[in-house]
Amino acid sequence: MKNKQIFSKTLLIFFAIPGGLSAQVHELPKLNYEYSALEPHIDAKTMEVHYTKHHQGYVNKLNAAIKGTEAEKHGLEYLMLNVSKFNTGVRNNGGGHYNHTLFWDILSPNAKSKPDGDLLKMINEEFGDFENLKLELEKAGATQFGSGWAWLILTKKGKLAVVSTPNQDNPLMDIAKVRGIPILGIDVWEHAYYLQYQNKRPDYLNAIWNVLDWAKVEENYKEAVKSKIKLL
Ligand code: MN3
């Protein structure tokens, strides 16, 4: 959580002083748990390769893609919100960096198994109940053709929505069909589950609820309502 707060504050500072920025270098965020911490639901080898190879790869390629360009002057959130103005390396690798940073943060070995408070009230209003929301997310993940992500987002109108995006796109991007602030994202690329679940993506999606921390999603929801919705 500390990492995420620092991350968000940094982004806010960048918004506050556009034009006065030195070159950005993006970095892999710290994981708050061991690679084996999410077992048996997500195995240690998958976590290690996913974090140290895939996510690190997106960070490295993002830094290469922005070097010497206008994109170097902006924080990650700005790049996502204005992604159509930048090269496809920013879209693919900036998306990869943003998406995985959110993903690690909402997973936990001590996950709160369901939301309550304002978020639960909103879920009940818009999806009937929590179980139904989970089914909608599993469906979005299972039916995303090829690689991509399933999301729970807060839309500009302040409503929740379940959507999916291809590749490393996300709903924050100005090119997304349905835009919103991501408060929960599930990686459905094969690299996220293939070692353990092989072709059984629905089994992975079903297991992930055991390590998905609704306390974090509640925080993301509050933050989105409070400060970020204006960005869209
Ligand atoms: Mn991934």
pLDDT digits (tens, 9 = 90+) for 155-202: 989 999 999 999 999 999 999 999 999 999 999 999 999 999 999 999
185 falls within a domain: yes
For 132-166, how does the pLDDT look when each residue is reduced to its tens digit (9 = 90+)?
A: 999 999 999 999 999 999 999 999 899 999 999 99
Q: How far is the CA of 17 from the centre of ligand 1 (A)?
A: 32
> Each residue of 34-72: pLDDT tens digit?
999 999 999 999 999 999 999 999 999 999 999 999 999
* 21 domain residue, yes or no: no
Percent of the chain with pLDDT over 90: 86
**pLDDT of residue 1 exceeding 90:** no
* CATH number of the CATH domain containing 126: 3.55.40.20
- CA 141/CA 85 separation, integer angstroms: 28
Establish if 175 belongs to a structural domain: yes
How many structural domains are present in the chain?
1
Distance 193 CA to ligand 1 centre (A): 9
Residues of the domain holding 168: 117-226
Confirm whether 41 is domain-assigned. no
How many Å lie between the centroid of ligand 1 and the Cα of residue 186? 9
Cα 189 to ligand 1 centre (Å): 6
What Å distances lie between residue 81 and 49, 91, 174, 202, CA to CA?
Answer: 28, 10, 5, 31
Distance 110 CA to ligand 1 centre (A): 21
pTM above 0.85, yes or no: yes
Kindly give the distance from the C-alpha atom of residue 188 to the centroid of ligand 1, in angstroms, as a whole number: 7
CB contact at 8 A, 221 and 121 = no
The residue among 158 and 6 whose pLDDT is bigger is: 158
CA dihedral 108, 206, 190, 53 (to 10 degrees): 10
The angle at the Cα of 39, spanning 33 to 42, to the nearest 5 degrees, equals 90
CB burial class (10 A; 0-12, 13-18, 19+) of residue 103?
buried
Residue 222 lies in a domain: yes
Centre of ligand 1 to C-alpha 22, Å, is 29
Q: How far is the CA of 55 from the centre of ligand 1 (A)?
A: 7
Is 42 within 8 Å of 205 (Cβ atoms)? no
